[in-house]
């Protein structure tokens, strides 16, 4: 794999790439990174950067230890650091005649369909204007319950929304190894992953989870979102100078090759949900119906978990709790409790008002 055929590329960088252990800004690295972005732009490739670092730079400015601050204080620190972060990018990128813009996202901005479409249009307009969007999670207002929690998953959602061809996760190692390379000398770099379930079946992901701020687990979650959205993903060493050029030249990294996805934009968005609001457990008959492309009806529902509203993302599980699909519910969780197990023609009588006959319409559902 290579980046040559990618029209839109999302690059995620962590705060450890911008600020070293001594709280010094890695200016030489950032300059080499800007050179790499310039090369991509010169080939008419569109770029989005997802960057951590607001809290780290806020702590540096205020001379505060990041480990000791609580959430409400960290939101204020992020607000201070966000300006530092954008100034840092602006000063560096201007030298290479690169124009940047800022987009702050919360989890809800991408989980709600209308808001995610707005974000998509913003990306498209910025590309047309020749600007590079720099995206960060809006740490100044996000609470723990509505946070991505890591920029790996945020980056994968941005890649999906912006219709990117490739997501680059710059880490502090070359990629995904068979074991933790910092402990085991016989750890081998996995160069290509085509099927996450099959190819990584023997790998203890938690065992190689010692490195990278988000850890390998969140990177695998990001890869799943990318693969289902028809986007390739690469984990590469960001500590090197010119890290993107190194991917093209050395290719000493891990590629997650996307499944050829013919899903439309709506279904891509459904499948890439990070925070489903609940689960619907179905019987074997309903599972068979879904496999043949039919909608989910009340009769095939055994039970539900979670509390959700109409239009919310839900997981669809079989009797063994295996996820078989995802979709947007046409009913609230309270309504489903009243109608589950019953024939569609009983719904109006059970609820006392006219409602849809499908709990999840086939057009609002994606099989997994």
Closest CA to 257 of 286, 226, 220, 302: 226
> Taking the model in full, what pTM does it have?
0.76
Is the model's pLDDT at 145 over the cut of 60? no
Q: Which residues contact 138 (CB under 8 A, 6 or more apart)?
A: 104, 105, 106
What is the reported pLDDT for 274? 72
Closest CA to 242 of 29, 50, 17, 6: 29
What is the reported pLDDT for 108? 77
| Whole-number Cα distances in Å, 326 to 82, 145, 272, 305, 361 | 35, 21, 9, 14, 11
What is the reported pLDDT for 363? 83
Positions of CATH 2.30.130.10 in the chain: 276-367
Q: How confident is the model at residue 143 (pLDDT cuts 50, 70, 90)?
A: low
Q: What is the mean pLDDT of the chain?
A: 87
Is the model's pLDDT at 265 over the cut of 70? no
Q: Per residue in 43-57, pLDDT tens?
A: 999 999 999 888 888
What integer is the mean pLDDT of 80-86? 91
What integer is the mean pLDDT of 313-334? 94
Which of residues 324 and 274 earns the better pLDDT score? 324
Q: Which residues contact 272 (CB under 8 A, 6 or more apart)?
A: 156, 157, 160, 225, 228, 229
What whole-number distance in Å separates Cα of residue 193 and Cα of residue 79?
Answer: 38
What whole-number distance in Å separates Cα of residue 262 and Cα of residue 187?
Answer: 36
CATH number of 276-367: 2.30.130.10
What whole-number distance in Å separates Cα of residue 149 and Cα of residue 146?
Answer: 9
What is the reported pLDDT for 127? 96
What integer is the mean pLDDT of 72-77? 82
Q: Per residue in 155-181, pLDDT tens?
A: 998 998 898 999 999 988 899 998 877
Is the model's pLDDT at 209 over the cut of 50? no
Q: How confident is the model at residue 190 (pLDDT cuts 50, 70, 90)?
A: very high
Positions of CATH 3.40.1160.10 in the chain: 8-268
Q: Which CATH number does the domain 8-268 belong to among 3.90.1300.10, 3.40.50.1000, 3.30.70.3270, 3.40.1160.10?
A: 3.40.1160.10
DSSP code per residue over 166-188: EEEEEESSSS-BSS-TTT-TT--
Is residue 316 within 8 A of residue 302, CB to CB? The reply is no
Please tell me what DSSP assigns to residue 148: -
């Amino acid at each position: 794999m290579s980046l040559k055929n990618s029209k839109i590329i999302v690059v995620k960088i962590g705060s450890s790439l911008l600020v070293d252990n001594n709280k010094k800004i890695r200016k030489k690295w950032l300059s080499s990174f800007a050179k790499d972005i310039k090369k991509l732009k010169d080939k008419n490739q569109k770029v989005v950067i997802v960057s951590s670092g607001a809290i780290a730079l806020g702590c540096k400015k205020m001379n505060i230890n990041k480990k000791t601050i609580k959430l409400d204080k960290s939101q204020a620190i992020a607000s201070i650091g966000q300006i530092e972060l954008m100034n840092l990018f602006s000063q560096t990128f201007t030298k290479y005649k690169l124009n940047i813009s800022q987009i702050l996202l919360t989890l809800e901005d991408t989980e709600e369909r209308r808001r995610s479409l707005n974000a998509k249009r913003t990306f498209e307009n910025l590309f047309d204007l020749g600007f590079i969007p720099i995206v960060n999670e809006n740490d100044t207002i996000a609470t723990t319950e509505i946070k991505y929690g890591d920029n790996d998953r945020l980056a994968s959602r941005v890649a999906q929304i912006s219709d990117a061809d490739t997501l680059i996760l710059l880490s502090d190692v070359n990629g995904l190894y068979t074991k933790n390379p910092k402990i085991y000398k016989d750890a081998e770099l996995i160069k290509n992953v085509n099927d996450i379930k099959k190819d990584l079946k023997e790998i203890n992901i938690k065992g190689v989870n010692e490195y990278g701020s988000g850890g390998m687990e969140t990177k695998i979650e990001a890869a799943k979102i990318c693969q289902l959205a028809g986007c390739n993903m690469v984990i590469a060493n960001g500590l090197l100078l010119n890290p993107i050029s190194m991917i093209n030249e050395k290719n000493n990294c891990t590629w997650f090759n996307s499944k050829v996805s013919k899903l439309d934009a709506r279904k891509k968005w459904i499948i890439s949900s990070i925070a489903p609001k609940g689960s619907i457990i179905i019987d074997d008959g309903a599972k068979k119906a879904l496999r043949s492309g039919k909608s989910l009806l009340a009769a095939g529902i055994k039970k539900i978990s979670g509390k959700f509203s109409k239009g919310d993302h839900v997981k669809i599980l079989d009797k063994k709790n295996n996820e078989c699909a995802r979709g947007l519910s046409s009913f609230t969780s309270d309504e489903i409790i009243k109608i589950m197990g019953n024939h569609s023609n009983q719904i109006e009588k059970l609820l006392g008002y006219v409602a849809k006959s499908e709990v999840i319409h086939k057009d609002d559902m994606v099989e997994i």
